[in-house]
Amino acid sequence: METEFISWLRQRLPPHPQLPLGPGDDAALLRLSGRPECLLTVDLLTDQVDFRLGECDPRRIGRKALAVNLSDIAAMAGRPLAAVIALALPRTRAFELATELYEGMLPLAAEYAVAIAGGDTNCWDGPLAISVTLLGETTERGPLRRSGARPGDAIVVTGRFGGSILGRHFDFTPRVREALRLRERYELRAGIDVSDGLSLDLARLAQASGCGARINTADVPIADAARVLAQAEGGAETALAHALGDGEDFELLLAAPPDVARRMLDERPLDVPLTVIGQFVAEAGLWQVDAGGAARPLVPRGWVH
Amino acid sequence: METEFISWLRQRLPPHPQLPLGPGDDAALLRLSGRPECLLTVDLLTDQVDFRLGECDPRRIGRKALAVNLSDIAAMAGRPLAAVIALALPRTRAFELATELYEGMLPLAAEYAVAIAGGDTNCWDGPLAISVTLLGETTERGPLRRSGARPGDAIVVTGRFGGSILGRHFDFTPRVREALRLRERYELRAGIDVSDGLSLDLARLAQASGCGARINTADVPIADAARVLAQAEGGAETALAHALGDGEDFELLLAAPPDVARRMLDERPLDVPLTVIGQFVAEAGLWQVDAGGAARPLVPRGWVH
């Protein structure tokens, strides 16, 4: 079925100026647009872990498989360039499923000018697994790492957090444009995308930077979906707990000097909200500060693979 | 288990001069060594299709997962640079299995100076699936495509064919060094690696080049393993049929002008045998020519995904 599928796919792939040789040879050939540096990331999505095949449109699964990688390139303030896609398809309806997955991926690829450079499409007796590898380019400012935050830097986030399981974990907008715009205009020191949980990913960034972080809990932007979940649970988990630990928000979490952060908030350079939720501190660990100013340790929570 | 596994892995990854930022951030950062071009390929290996987990050492599986990608970069006459690895692991013994797979991959990566740039390591309720994406660089001669063969060109192959199922499909040497040496010294017009079957991959290269091909069957270098298989089957399939259709030989199949091919054979630039097995012709299709000179159509055979 792979030959038939490649024919189907090749008819749907637009030409890409940086892809002189796409699917159909032993490897794809890509032309970088300037800098001799590139970014590479891979994410694997599997049935019953990242989605439930029987319960959702495969187009949403395909879209998500590419979008999570776009979010990783955004976290590095990179420009996505090309993807290769490996599919392990259950034998039943394999061709249809492959086309539906790609029907979800292709519009997102077009939106972000990502070339679909190649893939490997296989059938087997196992459940659906999708691995997308994304190649990106750095900009003049270079890649934004996790390790550059300094004590005193503000913790800046895009968007709102929590409750993504209600749908946003499929339909989120990867913050590629936002990261590029912020990186171009402001001095950013470090960045990560919130995939596993706001508190967990913040802890990771702080650890990579050799510092700690304090979150002002009253300032955390909480998504409506987190409140819906909290209400449905009758208060078992508060909306804040959902915001801090649910994950799959795919928002940016950035470190910036405090004056830069103030300027970012004043100038509102994005269409999505930007919020300062705390600051990095010299002492290792994660702390939550309540509205009254009392600080206590915050145990990082989120999705542990 | 991913956090624990990443710690294990990071202790075993040697530094790589072209990988300023490896596993542990949102994406890896790679520095190309000169040309602003790169090659990208992905292969997915799955349990019960490409290997049987219960019946072989996971180290051989890990090695194969990287080696098949090295073979693809070799087919383009490229220089491999960096790999990212996605694992879907059955929950039982997941950590041990991951380490064993990498223990098979790491020595091969070191041998070919491939940086392990990142990965995604997951557990699930399905069988083992391994997806390796390999980034390569082109050389001054540019990438070797499938599409450059011309009528009259010789069909040149490295090594011997058939019977890889007896073990060589795990332990083959990807022809990276051979491809680079040949590309540097000789005018090669097209290339492919024989992954699915000598006749099938020859048909693909001929089709991509808009021509046909004639194989002199008496000249096909047959592996001992193909003879062993043929004998065990009591003549049901001849050793030649195994050589033409078994696949997973991972040898190079090249197109070169006839005088260049003669020079290659005279000069013996490689440690492995080089053989001319026929020539490309203007008429589309595949033909086998027996020792007496009679030509008849050859139906391409091999592994169809």
Q: Are A113 and A159 members of one domain?
A: no
Cite the DSSP H helix spans in chain A.
2-10, 58-75, 94-111, 168-171, 176-185, 198-208, 224-232, 239-245, 258-267
Q: Is A27 on the interface with B (CB under 8 A)?
A: yes
The pLDDT of residue A305 is 63
Is the per-residue pLDDT at B234 higher than 90?
Answer: no
- One-letter amino acid at B219 equals D
Q: Are A207 and A123 members of one domain?
A: no
Q: What are the tokens at A31?
A: 């032309």
Q: Are B166 and B125 members of one domain?
A: no
Q: Are B195 and B247 members of one domain?
A: yes
Contact B197, B259 (CB under 8 A): no
In this structure, is residue A162 part of a structural domain?
Answer: yes
**Min Cα–Cα distance to chain B from A193, Å:** 8
CB B290: neighbour CB atoms within 10 A? 11
Query: Which of B95, B111, B137 is the endpoint of a domain?
Result: B137
Residues 6+ apart with CB under 8 A from B208: A24, A25, B145, B146, B147, B190
In this structure, is residue A146 part of a structural domain?
Answer: no
Closest partner residue to A193 (CB to CB) among B26, B32, B138 is B26
Which residue does chain A place closest to B49, by CA atoms? A124
Chain A residues with beta carbon closer than 8 angstroms to that of B139: none
Q: Is A126 on the interface with B (CB under 8 A)?
A: yes
In this structure, is residue B147 part of a structural domain?
Answer: no
Q: Are B160 and B100 members of one domain?
A: no
Q: Are A169 and A277 members of one domain?
A: yes
In this structure, is residue A302 part of a structural domain?
Answer: no
pLDDT per position as a tens digit, A194-236:
999 999 999 999 999 999 999 999 999 999 999 999 999 887 7
In this structure, is residue B144 part of a structural domain?
Answer: no
Query: Which of A137, A170, A202 is the endpoint of a domain?
Result: A137
pLDDT per position as a tens digit, B134-192:
999 999 999 999 999 999 999 999 999 999 999 999 999 999 999 999 999 999 999 99
Q: Are B21 and B126 members of one domain?
A: yes
Q: Are A158 and A127 members of one domain?
A: no
Give me the domain span that covers residue A289.
154-297
Contact A31 B36 (CB under 8 A): yes
In this structure, is residue B146 part of a structural domain?
Answer: no
Closest partner residue to B126 (CB to CB) among A2, A72, A129 is A129
Chain B residues with beta carbon closer than 8 angstroms to that of A95: none
Tell me the mean pLDDT in the region A24-46: 93
Alpha carbons B53 and B72: distance in angstroms, whole number: 24
Query: Which of A137, A164, A184 is the endpoint of a domain?
Result: A137
The pLDDT of residue B305 is 64
Is the per-residue pLDDT at B92 higher than 70?
Answer: yes
Q: At B104, give phi and psi (nearest 5°).
A: -80, -30
- CA distances, B246 to each of A68, A303, B124, B156, B223 (Å): 38, 44, 32, 18, 11
Q: At A44, give phi and psi (nearest 5°).
A: -115, 125
Q: Are B24 and B49 members of one domain?
A: yes
In this structure, is residue B56 part of a structural domain?
Answer: yes
Contact B269, B185 (CB under 8 A): yes
Q: Which of residues 134-193 of B touch A (CB under 8 A)?
A: 134-136, 138, 143, 145-147, 191-193
Q: Which of residues 191-210 of B touch A (CB under 8 A)?
A: 191-193, 208
CATH number at residue A283: 3.90.650.10
Q: Is B26 on the interface with A (CB under 8 A)?
A: yes
Q: What are the tokens at A74?
A: 């955004």
Contact A122 B39 (CB under 8 A): no
Q: Are B187 and B263 members of one domain?
A: yes
Chain B residues with beta carbon closer than 8 angstroms to that of A118: 40-42
The pLDDT of residue B74 is 98
CATH number at residue A86: 3.30.1330.10
In this structure, is residue B27 part of a structural domain?
Answer: yes
Q: Are B129 and B77 members of one domain?
A: yes
pLDDT per position as a tens digit, B238-292:
999 999 999 999 999 999 999 999 999 999 999 999 999 999 999 999 999 998 8
Q: How do strand B154-158 and strand B129-137 relate by DSSP bridges?
A: unpaired
The pLDDT of residue B34 is 77
Q: Is A87 on the interface with B (CB under 8 A)?
A: yes
Q: Which of residues 211-230 of A touch B (CB under 8 A)?
A: none
Residue A201 C-alpha from the chain's centroid? 12
Q: Are A196 and A277 members of one domain?
A: yes
Domain count, chain B: 2
pTM of full prediction above 0.90: yes
Contact A86 B131 (CB under 8 A): yes
Place of tokens 């694992």: B87
Q: Is B292 on the interface with A (CB under 8 A)?
A: no
